[in-house]
Amino acid sequence: MEKTRLLILFGGQSEEHEVSCRSAVTVIRAVDQEKYEMLLVGVTKEGHWVKTDDVSQIEKDCWQKGKVSAVLSPDAVNRGVWLMDGKKTELWPVDAAFSVLHGRLGEDGSIQGIFELARIPYVGCGILSPALAMDKIYTKKIVESLGIRQAKYVVLRKRELADREKAAGLVEEHLSYPVFVKPSCSGSSRGVSQAKNRGELWDSLASAARYDSKILVEETIVGRELECAVLGGDDPRASGVGEILSAADFYDYDAKYNNPQSRTAADPELPGDAAGEIRRDAVEIFQAIDGWGMARVDFFLEEKTGEVVFNEMNTIPGFTSISMYPFLWESRGLSVENLVERLIRLAFVREKER
Ligand SMILES: Nc1ncnc2c1ncn2[C@@H]1O[C@H](COP(=O)(O)OP(=O)(O)O)[C@@H](O)[C@H]1O
Ligand SMILES: [Mg+2]
């Protein structure tokens, strides 16, 4: 039997580049080599696309030195990746793609747009849902329409920061300290911080503005951090609930990826029907943003009210060895190998349904 030719994309220009490389290692190792022939293409931080020969080069972080340029063509007839090695150019035909690019220019509909043009079946959500979910402010508007609770918020544009007093006044009119400040489009906690007073608010706004021109300021939700994985097409299913046990005050980049004391737990004990509510909300939000394939939906369980509060969602969730998405499915008896296979199959199902 001929093998299915699978393109794996990783790295990327976003601030989540390193996380994407780590996610790619998990995915590549989980792909069934009997069934699939893989082409590994890394995107450098500058946005150069290079063919990578072996997963160990990603682990050793030396894939950037690859000599063969890879160009994903939007051509739907000559469908695939053009490999350019000096003067020699050849087409590597692609049957399906699995992009593990997190964050901007990967998890925001842009790569999905190229796959659509080329008519290449691809893993995960289509163009609309990543574009929406990448933008925390737009996600909030959708979730608002579902009547699911989320943190109260204020939106500021970068240009509004020029008048610091006015910007702080706007925040203080609607929210009380401490507040959380985050770039609308970012991930892995980049640019996210808490501000306890006006002075800190200015610092937080400035650091969020380094990542995006739209800034979200939210009331602080004190409580537990819970996440839920969604998998499927027309009839998506929710995994069990996972809990983040952060080693830091909040789940910042270091707490997520560098602090071994941060832990995750599957199916923690939760009061009442909190787990059921989270699982139902996760699927409802996934469908409301027109999700397909996979997403991870994140919540808080507020301490003082016991209420479930939606936080944010990710359409290309982390696949690192400590990531919640594969972990939650593994706890439900679905190995990462079977999970990856299921996700690739779903890419073909969507293609066929069209
Ligand atoms: N409104 C909030 N109240 C309390 N903690 C928050 C709030 N918003 C974010 N956080 C903390 O910051 C972390 C990162 O914020 P998040 O919105 O998840 O952005 P990212 O997309 O970077 O993961 C969360 O995991 C949580 O620990
Ligand atoms: Mg998050």
Q: Using CA atoms, how far apart are residues 290 and 130, in angstroms rounded to an integer?
A: 9
What class does CATH assign to 132-148+221-353?
alpha beta
**Could you tell me if 306 and 272 are in contact, meaning their C-beta atoms sit under 8 angstroms apart?**
yes
The confidence band for 189, taking pLDDT boundaries of 50, 70 and 90, is confident
Q: State yes or no: pLDDT of 270 exceeds 90.
A: yes
Tell the residue nearest (CA) to atom 22 of ligand 1: 189
**How close is the Cα of 198 to the center of ligand 1, in Å?**
20
| DSSP-assigned states of every residue in 151-167 | --EEEEEGGGGGSHHHH
Ligand 1, pocket-test mutation among 108, 138, 180, most atoms within 8 A of CB: 180
Average model confidence (pLDDT) for the chain? Answer: 95
Q: State yes or no: pLDDT of 168 exceeds 90.
A: yes
Q: Percentage of the chain with pLDDT > 90? A: 90
The confidence band for 341, taking pLDDT boundaries of 50, 70 and 90, is very high
| DSSP-assigned states of every residue in 181-244 | EEESS--TTTT-EEESSHHHHHHHHHHHHTT-SEEEEEEPPPEEEEEEEEEESSS-EEEEEEEE
Q: State yes or no: pLDDT of 248 exceeds 90.
A: no
Please report the pLDDT score of residue 105 as a whole number.
92
The confidence band for 157, taking pLDDT boundaries of 50, 70 and 90, is very high
Please report the pLDDT score of residue 322 as a whole number.
87
Ligand 1, pocket-test mutation among 136, 138, 219, 250, most atoms within 8 A of CB: 250
Residue 287: CB within 6 Å of ligand 1?
A: no
Residue 151: CB within 6 Å of ligand 1?
A: yes
Please report the pLDDT score of residue 262 as a whole number.
84
What CATH number should be reported for the domain whose range is 153-219? 3.30.1490.20
Rounded average pLDDT over 169-180: 97
Q: State yes or no: pLDDT of 340 exceeds 90.
A: yes
Q: Using CA atoms, how far apart are residues 64 and 50, in angstroms rounded to an integer?
A: 7
> Which one, of 314, 299, 309, lies nearest residue 152 by Cα?
309
Residue 16: CB within 6 Å of ligand 1?
A: no
- pLDDT for 89-144, tens place per residue? 999 999 999 999 999 899 999 999 999 999 999 999 999 999 999 999 999 999 99
Please report the pLDDT score of residue 308 as a whole number.
98
pTM, whole model, 2 decimals? 0.95
Please report the pLDDT score of residue 298 as a whole number.
98
Please report the pLDDT score of residue 186 as a whole number.
82
Q: Using CA atoms, how far apart are residues 239 and 182, in angstroms rounded to an integer?
A: 27
Q: State yes or no: pLDDT of 87 exceeds 90.
A: no
Q: State yes or no: pLDDT of 273 exceeds 80.
A: yes
The confidence band for 190, taking pLDDT boundaries of 50, 70 and 90, is confident
Delimit the domains of the chain by residue range: 4-122, 132-148+221-353, 153-219
**How close is the Cα of 34 to the center of ligand 2, in Å?**
35
Residue 189: CB within 6 Å of ligand 1?
A: yes
Ligand 1, pocket-test mutation among 16, 132, 311, most atoms within 8 A of CB: 311
Please report the pLDDT score of residue 62 as a whole number.
96
Q: For residue 72, give the 3-state DSSP assignment.
A: strand
Q: State yes or no: pLDDT of 354 exceeds 90.
A: no
Tell the residue nearest (CA) to atom 19 of ligand 1: 189
Please report the pLDDT score of residue 246 as a whole number.
82
- pLDDT for 207-223, tens place per residue? 999 999 999 999 999 99
Query: What is the crossing angle of helices 198-209 and 164-174, to 10°?
Result: 110
**How close is the Cα of 195 to the center of ligand 1, in Å?**
13
Ligand closest to 253 (CA) is 1
Ligand 1, pocket-test mutation among 16, 137, 192, most atoms within 8 A of CB: 192
The torsion angles phi and psi of 200, rounded to 5 degrees, stand at -65, -35
Same fold, 4-122 and 132-148+221-353: no
CATH number assigned to the domain with residue range 4-122, chosen from the 4 options 3.40.50.11540, 3.10.330.10, 3.40.50.20, 1.20.120.720: 3.40.50.20
Please report the pLDDT score of residue 267 as a whole number.
95
